[in-house]
Amino acid sequence: MALPVVAIVGRANVGKSTLFNRIVGERISIVEDIPGVTRDRLYAQADWNGQNFLLIDTGGIELADADEVANLIRVQAELAIDEAQVIIFLVDGRSGLTSSDHEVARMLRKSGKPVVLGVNKIDHPNHLAAVYDFYELGFDEPIGISSEHGHGTGDLLDAVVRQLPRTDEDTYDEDVIKIALIGRPNVGKSSLVNALLGNQRVMVSPVAGTTRDAVDSPLEMDGQRFVLIDTAGIRRRGKVYERIEKYSVLRALRAIERADVVFVVLDGESGIAEQDKKIAGYAVEAGRAVGIVVNKWDAVEKDDKTSQRFIEEIHEQFPFMRWAPIQFVSAITGQRVHKILPLAMEVANNHAMRISTSTLNTVIEEATTSVTPPSDKGVRLRIYYATQVGTKPPVFVLFVNRSELMHFSYQRYIENQLRKSFELTGTPIRIVARNRSS
């Protein structure tokens, strides 16, 4: 199910990041009273009264400012507007209506998207009169809020949720494995889809960002049905867009939500970039089955240790997913592309694995016997019992005497023992320590 998208948009320093953190419930966005602090879009999943959505925090739009950084911030905001189903237009009730607000309002009206107008920094009932000035912008009733203190944010979110489209489940059968190919622009995602399909189903171009819309491509192998989700780029609107790769994150997020298996596509020729690690982290956080596909391997000058060196670099750069299988391929020559779908089947099965309680507890008992659990102030961690409570990904609950004694390093040790004992390649696992009394 693809979540609807809500973007917070407005000129600089009106409190967008503070509102973002208020809605998400975590201090994800950097908040500082200096215009332009938020330079990249930030994304997080949020919910209000049972309605889930993706929330985007954008940099401030300063249309009249030709400064390069301000221009990049404006472009990022435009990209967010492109993706959003509903836009929160945030203005500053303390400083009042400005010409920049009018400029942003014209830009939003041109987008044709539903707009909810929030007047921020209404920290006291005496400030409510300031809200009425913003009727001049021509949107529905302005909603006075204080993102710092939380006043009025519920009313704002009620208005947002009323405008959101209803989300429908994908219509694919449960036995269909949905595969998302995610990665930076121009790593060859569309070429891989075409190589798997055997035809020119998805437009391919050496120019980054030529895939505008996410494309679902069904196929079948050995009786197993798949759907390939090619994550889209964005339409090009001038040279400034060529410099921005951050837009790939949102499309990757939306594809990850729909997928059973996620393949992080790396460019074997240009190597690993910071953006690769960021979008891979989203897939792991979402609990999806994950594999790594190194594309363009035909273009790499090789000796007998090249692939091993690249694997070691992947493990160094992606320490949080050393369990992910790695496949070296070339979409252009077709080299090893035929191994991708069997790998997807393997990790999908591991992702859905269910382990019997008796077998699980035998492994846990052997693990605690081999390495004694940690202790603190004379009290040692005791694991009484373990059970699996979920799949996709596998989730295990360990009933213990004191959950605070479950040190991260020992939990990682338990995870490693589970991986040694069971075929869990390609899937994250969750381990939860719970006090037995609870």
Q: Tell me if residue 140 falls in helix, strand or coil.
A: coil
Q: How far apart are CA 239 and CA 191, in angstroms?
A: 24
21 annotated as belonging to a binding site for a ligand:
no
**Residue 232, marked binder:** yes
350 labeled part of a ligand binding site: no
For residue 121, say whether it is annotated as part of any ligand binding site: yes
Handedness of CA 209, 210, 216, 219 (dihedral sign): negative
Q: Report whether 230 belongs to an annotated binding site.
A: yes
Consult the annotation and say whether 185 binds a ligand: yes
416 is in an annotated binding site: no
**Residue 12 assigned as binding residue:** yes
The answer to whether 186 is annotated as binding is yes
* Residue where the block lists tokens 């019992």: 385
Q: Is 57 annotated as a binding residue?
A: yes
| CB contact at 8 A, 104 and 11 | yes
**112 in a labelled binding site:** no
Does residue 60 have a known ligand-binding role?
A: yes
Q: Is 296 known as a binding-site position?
A: yes
Q: Is 377 annotated as a binding residue?
A: no
183 is in an annotated binding site: yes
Does the annotation place 364 within a ligand binding site?
no
Residue 87: which of 62, 58, 116 has the closest Cα? Answer: 116
Annotation-wise, does 209 bind a ligand?
A: no
> Binding site annotation covers 123?
yes
The answer to whether 46 is annotated as binding is: no
Q: 120: annotated binding-site residue?
A: yes
**Binding site annotation covers 122?**
yes
The reply to whether 298 sits in an annotated binding site is: yes
- Is the previous residue joined to 393 through a cis bond, with omega within 30 degrees of 0? yes
16 annotated as a binding-site residue: yes
187 marked as binding residue:
yes
Residue type, 60: G
17 is in an annotated binding site: yes
**234 annotated to bind ligand:** yes
Q: Is 223 annotated as ligand-binding?
A: no
Instruction: Report d(CA 24, CA 166) in Å as an integer.
Output: 20
Torsion of CA 305, 306, 311, 313, to 10 degrees: 110
95 assigned binding-site residue: no
Q: Taking a C-beta distance cutoff of 8 angstroms, is the pair 71, 39 a contact?
A: no
Is 233 labeled as ligand-binding?
A: yes
Residue 275: both structure tokens together: 């953006």
Q: Does 236 count as an annotated binding residue? A: no
Binding residues for GTP: 10-17, 57-61, 120-123, 183-190, 230-234, 295-298
Binding residues: 10-17, 57-61, 120-123, 183-190, 230-234, 295-298
